[in-house]
Structure 1
Amino acid sequence: MSTSEVSQEKLNRLFWHSRRGMLELDLLLVPFIKEVYPTLDADDQARYEQFIAGEDQDLFNVLMQSVPPADADTKRIVELILAHAGKV
């Protein structure tokens, strides 16, 4: 699994997009984007970018495990986020 080079500009953009204004989401997404995202391979980076394009309430429900992930890609990135937060 090789990591993909990420420009600082892209990281900055994703950081601000990861700050959702909902404390529960911010506590999971902000540390993940800072500490894990740069080390992910290109496929997982794409999964994360697709995931955070969703609506806050949908992200919240999946991350709080109230509803199951809609597909395998979402399941993969949610597992990575929750593992990083120590929730799995």
Structure 2
Amino acid sequence: MFEQKRLSRLKWACRRGMLELDVLLLPFVEEAFADLPYEKQETFERLLTCDDPDLFAWIMGHQKCDDPELAEMVSIVVNRVKAQG
């Protein structure tokens, strides 16, 4: 489990330069992050180190992420958004 300080930094990292990413990533952390296995939580944390244009392209399906772990995490985020409708 992530300690509170680390979780707070993660939420801050979800505040991106693109509003489109903010509205996807922050709710994911607040509502679904805690249910992920620890390894996936660490992958999500690593995902947030990526550049906004790359994140946006991956989430929108314009490009495929070459890193399999990050690609799977993008899929998890996107599928959650689709399920929320």
Relative to the length of structure 2, the TM-score reads: 0.89
Runs (4+) of structure 1 exceeding 4 A deviation are: none
Q: 1: distance between equivalents of 2:12 and 2:61?
A: 24
1:51 to 47, 54, 57: 47
Checking the alignment, whether the CA contact within 8 Å between 2:13 and 2:48 is kept in structure 1 is yes
User: What percent identity do the matched residue pairs reach?
Assistant: 34
Choose from 4, 7, 11 the match for 1:8: 4
Residue 81 of structure 1, CA deviation: 0.4
User: Which of the residues 6, 17, 22 maps onto 2:18?
Assistant: 22
TM superposition shift of 1:48:
0.5
- The one-letter amino acid of 1:26's match is D
1:36-88 Cα shifts (integer Å, max 9, x gaps): 1111111101110111101111111111110012121011100110011117x
**1:12-58 per-position Cα deviation (integer Å, ceiling 9, x unaligned):** 11000011031110111011111111111111011101111011111
Q: Which moved more, 1:26-35 or 1:78-87?
A: 78-87
Q: Specify the code of the residue in structure 2 equivalent to 1:47.
A: T
TM-score w.r.t. length of structure 1 = 0.86
CA distance in 1: counterparts of 2:34 and 2:3, whole angstroms:
9
Unaligned ranges ≥5, structure 2: none
